[in-house]
Amino acid sequence: MANVSLRNLAKRFGATPLFDGFSLDVTDGELLCLLGPSGSGKTTLLRMIAGLEELDDGDIFIGSREVSRLSPRDRHIGMMFQGYALYPHLSVRENLAYPLRVRHVGKDEVAARVGEVTRLLRVEHLLDRRIQQISGGEQQRVAIGRAIVQKPSLYLLDEPISNLDASLRESVRTELRRLQRELGATMIMVTHDQLDALAIADRIAVLHKGVLQQLGRPEELYLNPANSFVAGFIGQLRMNLLPCRHRNGALEGDGFSLPARPDAIEALSAQSGEITVGFRPEAVTVHRRAVADACLAKVETTQFQGERAISVLRLGGTPIHVSLDSRVRLEVGRSVWLAVPPDQLHVFGPDGERISGPAAAAKPEAAVAG
C-alpha cells in the first residue's frame, strides 16, 4: 500500500475557486474519511486524486510517485462508487474478472485472484449468479471485490454505503473495516454521513466550501471540535449552539446564564462581541426543581429511542436537544431546570473558532436529578 500527499491543490470552476492551496497527508494503511455537506468539495477532491478531475495547480503523490498529470489507469488505484458500477448481465465471477481481463492479465492469474477475493469477501457461493440475482448487500461486496482484485496501491470510495438501508449499512460498515485491516489498505472514503465516518475512520477530514475545517481521530472531533461548524456537524445529535455574551464569569444569552470555566475567563474577557456557547445533549442534567446555576426550560417533545430518550426543550427562544436515560420521563409542557457543568461547555468566538472547551478525556453522562 502507499501513503498519499496532496500539496497546495487548486481547483477553480470558471472564476469561482473551490480549492486554493489545499494540503493533506494520508498515512500508509490508514482509512481516512472526507466528510462534509453537499458542496463542500469532498467528491471533487476524490476525483482529483483519481485523475478524473484536472488540477489547476498543486501536486499529488501516491507513495513516492508524483501522479498529478497521470491518467486514472496509470495511478494504480481501485475505485468504488455509490452506484456499484457492476454489469447486471454478467455473473459475479465475470464481474470480478473483468478489470483484470481488460489489462490482459493471464487466465491462471485471473482465476487465482478472483478465488482469493471471493474467499476474503465470503461470496464463493455466489460466483455463478448474475448480479440481478443477488441482494444489495451482496452487490456491495462484489463492488468492493472489483476494486480489491486489482491489488491497487490506494482505494478510493465515493459514498460506498449511502444507498443501503440502516440495518445493512451497519453490517457493511463492519465489513469495510474488517477488509481494510486485513488488507492493510490505504483507503480514502467520501461520505456526507458523519455516523459512517465516526464508525469506521482512523481519521476524519471535515471539509466546508473547499476548506479543511479539522483533521483528527473521530473522538477528537467529537470531544474537541475546532470551530462551531465542526461542533454543529459532528455527532448523532448535533451540539446545541447558542449565541451569548460573557459577563462577570457567566455566559449569558436569551433566557439563560451558564457559569464559565474558571480557566477560560481570561480568554473570554478578551472577547468584545457576541460569542457562541455549545454543549452536547448528553452533557445536560435536568432537574425538577430549581438548583444553583440551572436555567428554566420547557419540555416541547420527547422521543423514545430504546435505551435513550431525546427531548426537545425550549430555553428562552431557542430549542435545544437533551439525551436522557429512557426510563426518565419528561412531561410535555412541563417546566424543568437544566444545568451544564462548566467543564462541558464549548465556547467559540465571533469568527467561529474555538476559545475554550472540555478536556479530551471528558465523557459526560446525562442524568435527571430530583
| pLDDT > 70: percent of the chain | 96
Q: Which CATH class is domain 238-369?
A: mainly beta
Count, residues in the chain: 370
The whole-number pLDDT of residue 284 equals 95
Is residue 148 within 8 A of residue 117, CB to CB? The reply is yes
Strand order in 318-325's β-sheet?
318-325, 308-315, 295-305, 335-339, 285-287, 367-369
The H or E element containing residue 336 is strand 335-339
So what's the pLDDT on residue 365?
Answer: 46
Grid cell digits, residue 6: 496532496
Query: Most distant CA pair in the chain: distance in Å?
Result: 77
Segment (H or E) for 141: helix 136-148
- pLDDT tens for each residue of 186-219: 999 999 999 999 999 999 999 999 999 999 999 9
For 229, phi and psi rounded to 5 degrees? Answer: -65, -50
For helices 166-183 and 107-121, the axis angle rounded to 10 degrees is 120
Q: Which amino acid is at 106?
A: G
210 close to 171: Cβ distance less than 8 angstroms:
no
CATH code 3.40.50.300 for 4-223: yes
In the chain, what are the domain boundaries?
4-223, 238-369
- The pLDDT value recorded for residue 362 is 42
What confidence tens digit (pLDDT) does each residue in 19-66 have?
Answer: 999 999 999 999 999 999 999 999 999 999 999 999 999 999 999 999
Distance CA 188, CA 80 (A): 11
